[in-house]
Amino acid sequence: MNFLISPKNSRLWGRKFKPVTTRKADVLKVKMGTISEIDGVECIFIDGYWIRYYDPPAESWEARKNLIAGLTRRTFHHTERGINTPGENLELARFHFENTNSEEENRVAAAMLAGALFNRATDIFTTIADLEQIGVHIKRGNELLQECSECLEEAMELGKLVRHISGNEGINELWGEPLKAFTMSSYDFYISRYVKISLSMRDMDRINAVLKETLKPFKEFDPVISAMFKFTRYAKRNCETMKRDPLYFTVWPKFVTRSDHVTQLVDGIRQDHSPNADPSILEACNLVAECRELITYISAARVPMTKVTNRFFDTCSEFQQKHRNT
């Protein structure tokens, strides 16, 4: 494992998308990875987006332990319930995974085993970091480090079967983050996070734009579209802001209230058109609700949700074809 790589050996990525700025700046003249103060906030420029910048933690066992533990908790927070299996139950979880005949139950057993592997790896790394703190140095080829790596790799593979908390697709990139934090330098890991945040922002903008185009013929939804753009703006701010940042206390209330405003407007349309509502109006209301929920999930997870996003685009396309002459 290339553990604790020096940032001096780090390289930026080569991924590029059409620039779509979220803050005022001439993005065409900005180089990837540029760090600058934008609208009073220190930001890094990634794939057309200015993203709030945070210094990576120091390269130390203690910092790495805290990072991996935090990522593990975050992963379980965004995935289906009941799979946060204690590491001490790893063998039991593996037994049930290997001896479950039902295909549906086997998927759940795999998710539980992935959780146990995750927690076992975190337990091992925590113990190693604690030993380092008292002067007991662990060499890179140590068996415990190797077992930690193997647990994370197997957990990431099984994680493909784990579902998002919504019951939709899994979030493989989120599930693999503790392994990346174990193998990459803090600098490279944070850079990879900024790339995912930029991709998440791009998808939130795309989702919003598709909804606007889909509902263009329905003038009663104009206030909803306006509210959705305001909501998406703060969904992106929420996506980039760490909870330990004091600014989070400003961002989160705005994010929640903008979301509530969208729901209130949609509820108003439902009431105005009941009980003899045009089916297309009710379908449009459902589209808005689905859009708001999807953006909320992406904002919280800070990674793209490709399958469910494409499914939403397909739903919008079907809606447009169905009501083309409305």
pLDDT of residue 5: 30
- Report pLDDT for 311: 93
SS3 content of the chain, % helix, strand, coil (to 5): 65, 5, 30
Structure tokens at 75: 């992963």
Contacts of 165 (CB under 8 A, 6+ apart): 77, 78, 79, 80, 81, 297
- 326 residues of the chain, pLDDT tens digit each: 333 333 333 333 333 333 334 454 455 577 888 998 887 889 999 988 999 999 888 888 888 888 888 888 888 888 899 999 999 999 999 999 999 989 999 999 999 999 999 999 999 988 988 888 888 888 877 888 899 889 989 998 898 888 888 887 777 777 778 878 888 888 888 899 999 999 999 999 999 999 999 999 999 999 999 999 999 999 999 999 998 899 999 999 999 999 999 999 999 998 887 667 678 898 999 999 999 999 999 999 999 998 899 999 999 999 999 887 65
φ/ψ of residue 45, rounded to 5: -95, 115
Residue 311 and residue 290: Cα distance in Å, rounded? Answer: 11
- pLDDT at residue 11 in the model: 35
Question: Beta strands 41-46 and 49-52: pairing type?
Answer: antiparallel
Predicted pLDDT of residue 27: 52
